[in-house]
Chain A
Amino acid sequence: MTDPPAPTFEARLAQARDISVRLKGAIAAVIVGQDAVVEQVLWGLIAGGHVLLEGNPGLGKTLLVRTLSSCLDLRFSRIQFTPDLMPSDVTGTNVLVMDGGGQGSKGRFELHRGPIFGQVVLADEINRATPKTQSALLEAMQEHAVTIAGTRHALDEPFFVLATENPIEMEGTYPLPEAQLDRFLLKVSVPAPSEDELTEILARTTGKPVGEPGRVLTRQDVRELQALCREVAVAEPVLRYAARLVNASAPDAADAPDLVRRAVRYGAGVRGAQSLVLAAKAVALLEGRAHVSFADLQRTAAPVLRHRILLSFEGEADGVSCDQIVGELLASVATRPAAVERAVQGV
């Protein structure tokens, strides 16, 4: 019996596009609107990164994650972050288990795995836990492994953390430290639904309950998508554009825009640049391309960079948002050499 021939790159690309369309369709059956949010969550899934969803309560963040996990043939777990949540509540702990009963029975420690051992982990309201507990996610998110009682345990692949946070309730919350934020590939802002979307939500949720969507992607499909994403080609000028974009976000950079110099304390780093290219590859893949374009980088710039830019006191006092900074960067950093740009414009 011989193995079936490996599918061609074009076939894999087409398959990936087909899968993504089906996945978006399945999610859309439950989630009304929020196409951009769904799209960006898919970028994170395909690029193998974690996503931080930020939005007001009741916008369907948790529902989105639950729906996504339903569509994926992956093990789902949920952690509701609270101030008294302990790291062991996230990672798990060794529990003493007695063999048999009565006297003389021997006891042994058995690992009681925490919710982090899921494949799609929902860290709900992550900023309500203390930094100590938040940091329990660091190793898992970066290395896809946890260390419990000195023993390192690898997590099952694919491993995908979806965290949510509420930006308006600041009482009793612990803002995520920069190191933690940097572990998230994307920070997705969940907007309020439009009137049409809200009407549709009302129609769906106030009548007969809708069933959960069926499995669309197997675990293998997800891994295949992630592998294919890594194969997407990037031209050097495109990589240089990503590098210029990230460098310009630092206030002391030579080509930093005035707004960055004035309102930014720290810019994005190397991990930001890597995330930018990876997310752009996912975008290209979802559009059925095997290479990244400038437009892909520009589309992913805001969700990739917004949580990696630390505003200065002056910037915060002036009410400058990180999305404004990213917009300024996109406007000031040229994609092509000036002479080429002039020729393109026909000047």
Chain B
Amino acid sequence: MADSAQSDFRSAFQRLAQRVHRRHAGRLALTGAGVGLSLGALGALGLWALRWGEWRPMSAGLGALGALVGAALASRQRWSESDIALYLDARLDSHETLTTALAARGGPEPALAHVLERASSVLGSADPKRVKPKLWSRWHALLPGALAVIAVVSVLPLPPAPKPAPHAPGAERVQIENLQGLERIEALDHLRGQNPEQDERLKKLAEQAKKLREALSKGLEKREALSEIAKLRDGIAAERLKLGDRQNRPGLDAALRAFGNNQALHDAQKALGNGDLTAFDDEMQKLANRAESSDRQAAKDALEEAAKEARAKGAKGLADALDAQKRLFERRESHAGALRELAQSMKGQLSPEALEDLKEFGRSGSPEAEKRLADGLERALEGLTPEERKRLAERMQRELEGAAGNASPMTKKQLEELAKQLSRKEGVEQLKKQLQELSQPEPSDDAKREQGLGDAERGGSAAERGLGAMPIPLDGDGAPGAATPGDKAGPGGKADPSGSAGPGSKHDSGTGDHHGSTPEIAAKELRSKADARLSAGAPMHGATLGRAPARPGETANQLGTGTLGDAQKTEVGAVDHADIPEEYREQVGRYFEP
């Protein structure tokens, strides 16, 4: 009897339980789908917010996947029979009759049969509508909500790109493959220093510039790049000869006095007074080229005496430079003599222009005239017939014999060699080559170094400008000799030797229009405030670019370095104690560095 009651109850319970289970599983699946779809909607919102527009169509698929996963996970949480019985008991207020009938353990048979009977009765009278679980819950509102979000987000225009956060000044990164100007600093590698230590320092500067170029090609903070360039410029400035500083000033003054004894040395004295070794070297070249031997001798004497005076006053660097200049002067003098001798030998074959150049070369010693003379000689050599070449060789031979040692040993030896070779075609070619070499200017080591350092300094300025910064003027910027070849000087100005001077320039020795005029300045009341007596070759009085009060003798071309020794104690390390942002402190400190 108990078995039949059990089976009756079981079948009735299963019918109701399946209905409950289906509804419950459906509810769970909907909940899971809602949660999954919501996650998909969140993903779509994320894609929209991140402006990944091309991925947005995937958000619908993401939502569908989330719904499937949610439904699958939910379906795993199905109720057991005991759970369903508990649910039914609660909904039917049957005091756990169904639960007891389903899960009674070890109960006596009469009681169990009674419970089964009661349970069957409860199930028989149960209202299916009352016991079915609710299919919809408030969580299911997520379904249409999430679908709407996905639909809207899929068609909604992407939000505007957020404005990038402003960089701290100078903190933006720069990436430049080839920053113009750095190559001029890298060229310091080939410069010859005064001593091995300076050689090493120049190579180091070149190496640093190379590293900076590599770092810039990979990307670097702008302020860091500017800081590196500023260090390089400081290093370059430190390598330049400073004739006007405290150590060299007395020696320079004494050396200038040695040049003041001869009017022919006036230009050289002025160039040296300006501390412009390149211009001084040019003037020395002209003097060495001159035909007048007294001028050349005066120049050699002045160089010797100036070097001696400078050394006596403790300006060792200046004295060394003057000694080197004297040695170079003698070599240049020998070259010029050789060229002149050759021109004299070929006087009959020279064109009128070449003869004019020979005169000009002897008078002014101008490198331009020297170049033109060498070209004229070369053309004359080309026009010689073999017979004329033979006669020229014989004549040179006779003249050499007649000179009997008056010419310098080098000149005589060279000419003897030339006389032997002129009879052959190859000899002529070799002579032409030598003429080219003779006409090439041969600047002094100091001049070359100063020119190289100046060029590197201007390269540093160009690099700073390339990074968008305003270069800080340093010693050397705008200094004489800064002009590049081909720069034209203004009226009355000075041009680079290899360029052509403008009208009115007293250095103009070209064939152009020499009748320039300077327009009158409409300033009748203009008065000069300065009443200082100008001494030839001495620096002009005036304002300085220095960072210390000007001293007598300083000029706009002379940086007032070496004067910070008079600084107050409170000014020492002032930058470190000043209210300057940390990121600028190093730059500001370097600016005020003595």
Residues of A within 8 A of B (CB): 8-10, 13, 231-239, 289-296, 335-337, 339-340, 343-344, 346-347
Contact = CB atoms under 8 A, between A and B. Distances in A.
Given A233-B111, A290-B118, A336 B86 contact: yes
A267 B468 CA distance: 82
B511 to A, nearest CB: 109
B90 A233 contact: no
A291 B104 contact: yes
The 4 A-B pairs with the shortest beta carbon distances in the complex, nearest first, are: A233-B107, A9-B110, A293-B95, A291-B100
A340 B118 CA distance: 22
Contacts of B101: 291
A292 B114 contact: no
Contacts of A343: 24, 87, 133-134
A232 B111 contact: yes
Contacts of B133: 343
Given A292-B96, A343-B133, A346-B134, A234 B107 contact: yes
5 contacts: A234-B104, A235-B100, A235-B104, A293-B96, A339-B79
Given A337-B83, A337-B86, A340-B83, A290 B99 contact: no
Given A234-B100, A292-B96, A239 B90 contact: no
Interface residues of B, number: 31
B248 interface: no
Contacts of B137: 347
Which of B77, B96, B101, B114 has the most chain A CB atoms inside 10 A of its CB?
Answer: B96
Contacts of A339: 77, 79, 83
Nearest to A295: B95
A339 B86 CA distance: 11
Contacts of B102: 235
Contact of B95 (A9, A289, A344): A289
A340 B201 CA distance: 87
Contacts of B87: 336, 340, 343-344
B352 interface: no
A291 B103 contact: no
A307 B482 CA distance: 110
Contacts of B110: 8-9, 231
Given A237-B96, A239-B105, A9 B114 contact: yes
Nearest to B20: A343
Contacts of B100: 233-235, 238, 291-292
Nearest to B86: A336
B68 interface: no
Nearest to B113: A9
Contacts of B115: 233, 290-291
Nearest to A8: B110
B97 interface: yes
Q: Is the interface of B mostly helix, strand, loop or mixed?
A: helix
B108 A231 contact: yes
B91 interface: yes
A229 B122 CA distance: 23
A238 to B, nearest CB: 6
B408 interface: no
B256 interface: no
Interface in B319-354: none
Contacts of A293: 95-96
B182 to A, nearest CB: 73
B86 A291 contact: no
Nearest to A346: B134
Interface in B148-180: none
Contacts of A13: 114
Interface in B91-140: 91, 95-97, 99-105, 107-108, 110-115, 118, 133-134, 137
B90 A344 contact: yes
Contacts of B104: 233-235, 291
Given A9-B113, A9-B114, A231-B111, A237 B103 contact: yes
B293 interface: no
A237 B90 CA distance: 13
Contacts of A347: 137
A236 B112 CA distance: 13
B82 interface: yes
Contacts of B96: 235, 237-238, 291-294
Given A290-B118, A293-B96, A343-B133, A237 B111 contact: no
A6 to B, nearest CB: 10
Contact of B97 (A237, A291, A346): A291
A52 to B, nearest CB: 28
A337 B118 CA distance: 24
B111 A291 contact: yes
Given A336-B90, A343-B24, 4 more contacts: A234-B107, A235-B105, A238-B96, A291-B97
Interface string B389-402: 00000000000000
A339 B112 CA distance: 28
Which of A9, A231, A291, A336 has the most chain B CB atoms inside 10 A of its CB?
Answer: A291
A239 B113 CA distance: 19
Contacts of B82: 236-237
A9 B134 contact: no
B569 to A, nearest CB: 72
A282 B363 CA distance: 145
Interface string B1-41: 00000000000000000000000100000000000000000
Contacts of B134: 343, 346
Contacts of A235: 96, 99-100, 102-105
A13 B111 CA distance: 9
A249 B107 CA distance: 27
Contacts of B91: 344
A292 B87 CA distance: 16
A205 to B, nearest CB: 39
A239 B100 CA distance: 10
Nearest to B87: A340
A188 B96 CA distance: 27
Contacts of B103: 235-237
A32 to B, nearest CB: 31
Nearest to B27: A343
Contacts of A10: 114
Nearest to B117: A10
Contact of A340 (B79, B105, B111): B79
Contacts of B113: 9
B20 to A, nearest CB: 9
A294 B95 CA distance: 7
A296 B95 CA distance: 9
Which of B82, B86, B103 has the most chain A CB atoms inside 10 A of its CB?
Answer: B86
A102 B91 CA distance: 83
B259 to A, nearest CB: 105
Nearest to B89: A293
Contact of A236 (B24, B105, B111): B105
Contacts of A233: 100, 104, 107-108, 111-112, 115
A232 B137 CA distance: 39
A182 B570 CA distance: 92
Contacts of A294: 96
Contacts of A236: 82, 103, 105
Contacts of A340: 79, 83, 86-87, 90
A144 B500 CA distance: 140
B105 A237 contact: no
A257 B479 CA distance: 91
Contacts of A289: 95, 97, 118
A8 to B, nearest CB: 8
Contacts of A291: 95-97, 100-101, 104, 107, 111, 115
A232 B133 CA distance: 30
Which of A233, A291, A293, A346 has the most chain B CB atoms inside 10 A of its CB?
Answer: A233
Which of B87, B100, B118 has the most chain A CB atoms inside 10 A of its CB?
Answer: B100
